[in-house]
Amino acid sequence: MVKAYVLIMNESGKEDSVISNLRNIPSITTAFGAFGTYDILTKLESPNEENIQHDISNGIRKISNIRTTMTLLVDKKPGISKTNKIEREVLDTYMAQAFVTIHCSKSNEPTVMSKLEEIPEVIEADMLVGNYEIICKIAAPTHNDISEIISKKIRKMPGIKSTITINVVNNQGFSR
C-alpha cells in the first residue's frame, strides 16, 4: 500500500467547502481541519503510486479555494499503527489530536521510530521521503497534554533536529 500526506492551505474560511470536495477523491482515507500554518491535513492510501499522484494533481490541486499544498510521501518501510478503525473513530470524536513532522538524522530514524512506539499517546507513525523523516499522530485528552508530550518526550529524544506540530480541529473532517 502506497501512502502520502498532503498539507493544504486554503482561502480563509473555506475549510468546510474544501473538505466536502476532498470526500470525492478516492485515495483520501482521512481529512482533518487543522489550526496553525496548514488548514487541512489529508492522508492518502492506494495500491499504487500512480493513483496517489493522479489524485493529488487532478483531484486535490484542482479544488477551488486551495492556495497551496505540501505533499509528504511515506517511505515503504513499515510504520506504527496502534489503533483499529473503531478506536480511531472514538479518538477522532473525543480526544485532542495532532500530527507532528519530525526532522532527524537519517541514521536516527529507526531509533526515533522505536522510541515513538514506546509513547502511549503516539498512535501512528510513518517514515517519510523528503524534507522530513517521520510523521506521527498523537492523541491525548487536551491540546495542552499534546504540547507536553511533544516538548517533554519527543523533542528530548537524541537526534531530533526539529518538529512541526499540526493540531487537528475536532469534528471538522472525515475518516473512511
Q: Please report the domains of the chain, with CATH numbers, ordered by start residue.
A: 2-74 (3.30.70.920), 80-170 (3.30.70.920)
- 166 contacts: CB under 8 Å, gap ≥ 6: 7, 34, 36, 37, 38, 41, 98, 99, 100, 101
pLDDT averages per 10-residue partition of the chain, 176 residues: 96 95 96 94 96 96 96 92 84 88 92 96 95 94 95 95 94 87
Instruction: Give me the pLDDT at residue 107, please.
Output: 87
- Burial of residue 78 (CB within 10 Å: 0-12, 13-18, 19+) is exposed
pLDDT at 111: 95
| Contacts for 46 with CB less than 8 Å, ≥ 6 apart | 1, 2, 26, 27, 52, 55
Q: Which residues, at least 6 apart from 109, have a Cβ–Cβ distance to it below 8 Å?
A: 127, 133, 134
Whole-number pLDDT of residue 18 = 97
C-alpha cell of residue 142: 487536551
Alpha carbons 31 and 14: distance in angstroms, whole number: 14
Pairwise CA distance, residues 54 & 17, whole Å: 21
